[in-house]
Structure 1
Amino acid sequence: MLTRRLLTLVLVLPLAACASGNSPMQLYPLKGPIADADPTLVIQATAKNTTGTSGELSFRMPERGRCTGTWSSLTPRTVSNKKGMSLTFKKTGGEVGREIETVAGVNTGEIYAVCADGTRVQGTFVIGSGTASGTGRASDTNGNVYKLLF
């Protein structure tokens, strides 16, 4: 019984470590055939790996099927390595490690996706450093223009 639990734990922990953030993204049609047909429509998208600087993007276009692609953000980070002696009581004996920080500011990014019917969606956005929220614009090859919020 104990070995079965241990085996389950050994198999599940690496999968949990690989899990990353997903964030909802909305595309609001502003101009074009979709906005003309239904100006209240909101296209729900999912951006995967939002704790990183790029990931998969997926959504469904009305009457055009599933769309998949990529989002990417130019998010600068600083990496510093720590090595040496420490003279404090809390960290006696020295300190070795690595620290990664996101540089504060506003960063730019892009989305690109291809739908089942061949429609291509492309856009740009700005995002706050260290956040998974931003705003931008996108357009598709059918003449639609979207407001992008996430």
Structure 2
Amino acid sequence: MSVEVLDGATIRSFVEDEQVFNNSVDDRFASLDTNHDGQLSYAEMARELQSLRVLETHFGVDEVKPSRDELLRLYGSLFSQFDHDGSGSVDLEEFREETRKMMLAVANGLGFLPVQMVLEEGSFLQRAVDRETKKIYP
């Protein structure tokens, strides 16, 4: 993990650099596709969905603990966002498209004012910062 300063323009620029963005998404997709069939099942995406920590708002010390059923519904809903055709699996194009939408939503939310964030190594946001500072991923 590292502490970085970024803004919406950093993320937008990363997404608009099609080669760098697609390479980053392709790498993540390949790491999630554990059976190498070119499709992501719910089980393969579950770890990634859980890493989003969408329910944690106070650095993991929230007192509200969602039930297992609530979590399953939430992760199922997130998976459905990626599974555009409703096939029960996510192909590379669906994964790219939804990742692009999510990244642009983050960029829009940040706007033009820089913010300091803790980023996980290898995350899309970290790669956006690295690209901007010329640590470009091939």
TM-score computed with the length of structure 1 as normaliser? 0.22
Answer 1 or 2: which has greater strand percent: 1
**Which of the pair is proportionally richer in helix?**
2
Structure showing greater relative contact order (alpha-carbon pairs closer than 8 Å, 6 or more residues apart): 2
Structure with bigger gyration radius: 1
